[in-house]
Amino acid sequence: MIYPIYIYGSQALRKECEPITEDFPDLAKFVKDMFETMYAADGVGLAAPQIGKNVKMFVIDPGFYAPDNEELKDTKRVYINPEIYEESVDEIVFTEGCLSIPGIHEDVSRPEAVKIRYLDENLQPHDELLEGYVARVVQHEYDHLQGTLFTDHLAPLRKTLVGGKLNGMSKGKFSAGYRTKQVK
Ligand code: CO
């Protein structure tokens, strides 16, 4: 099932998410729906609050649109109750976008590498060191679980410049090539 994606201005994008517990109803279907929704919107990652579910879970598939990229092979993942517990001191700047903020792309500085603990779709624990593009996607999605959006990281001047567009977006002024929803 393809869910509509919640757009900037929606409450769900600003709430802290709850951990997923073992009695979560039909986790397998939820995981499948998250991927379907992500692919339908041409996204490389999607966090549960983006479909209005405030639980600690996101999915990524950075290699989906770049099948020949060796670095991105086998990086399709489900991250449940993730915890980033270490970050590199070195940061890099990379242009980000977000399915919940259509039409805005801005440079964001973040740690180049992170260490993350999480459960997979079978609730099996993992511990990974992530670098490069995958680390970037994961940090962006991880932010969503604490109610943080990439535009929160912009330098003050860029924030002001983008602020007008965001304001309009929160009032319903946006267009996206996929199903969307705005719940205030
Ligand atoms: Co996003």
Over 90: is that where the pLDDT of 12 sits? yes
Which one of 71, 87, 121, 141 is the catalytic residue?
A: 141
C-alpha 140 – ligand 1 centre gap (Å): 6
End-to-end CA distance of the chain: 23
65-121: pLDDT as tens digits = 888 999 899 999 999 999 999 999 999 999 999 999 999 999 999 999 999 999 999
Give the CA-trace dihedral at 175, 176, 178, 183, to 10 degrees: -60
Reported as a pLDDT band with limits 50, 70 and 90, residue 50 is very high
C-alpha 132 – ligand 1 centre gap (Å): 17
Q: Is 83 a catalytic residue?
A: no
Pairing label, strands 5-6, 113-119: unpaired
C-alpha 71 – ligand 1 centre gap (Å): 22
C-alpha 88 – ligand 1 centre gap (Å): 22
- CA nearest to 99, candidates 35, 9, 6: 6
pTM over 0.85: yes
